[in-house]
Amino acid sequence: MSPPTDAADDPFERFRAVFDEALASGMENPNAMVLATVSADGRPSSRVVLLKGFDERGFAFYTNLESRKGLELAGNPQVSLNFYWRELGRQVEIRGTAERVSDGEADVYFASRPRGSQLGAWASRQSRPMASRAELMAAVAKIEARYLGRAIPRPSHWSGFRVVPSSFEFWVAGTFRLHKRTLFERSSDGWRSRLLFP
């Protein structure tokens, strides 16, 4: 019998257990996570992005580097990720530093995307003002014509980030709001955990 999802001493193992549970549940987008960043003038912003892979190095997602989040990450790589699986009564917050993935990793992931998503990565001037939807669709058509019958290469302004965690907080829903919160913090000799009041 496998241990409960909140029993592992290693935060990556604990995350993998609850993430596998979310995947097995059949819920839509179990890999959705809220990414919070901070602008140069200290204003926070957040948006939902999709986790595209994780291992002991960290948690990877992909984006337009010229988008608001891309520019904010370039100015301040300190971020927070939040996963909330309502159906499981589970939440995980991860704080850490975002680092660019290698060009090779970005190329491999970009090549795995649907062709329409590849076209969109070229056509969208993400986060910038747009006159009308027709402007975007015209840009898509132009890129589609350029690469007709050919593989679409990854644009130089599109890549990924890996969030290297400094802490994990695991939240488990409890009755009467007596939730269980466990904080893991990175130390020089591994991870240290402690319970927090709900």
Q: Which contacts qualify for 7-15: CB closer than 8 Å, 24 or more apart?
A: 9/191, 9/193, 10/191, 11/165, 11/168, 11/170, 11/184, 11/191, 11/193, 12/54, 12/55, 12/56, 14/168, 14/170, 14/184, 15/54, 15/92, 15/94, 15/168, 15/170
Helix, strand and coil content of the chain, in percent to the nearest 5, comes to 30, 35, 30
C-beta of residue 140 within 8 angstroms of C-beta of residue 119:
yes
C-beta of residue 52 within 8 angstroms of C-beta of residue 32:
no
177 is known as an active-site residue: yes
Catalytic entry in 43, 86, 133, 177? 177
Spatial CA neighbour of 122 closest among 161, 150, 81: 150
Active-site positions read 177
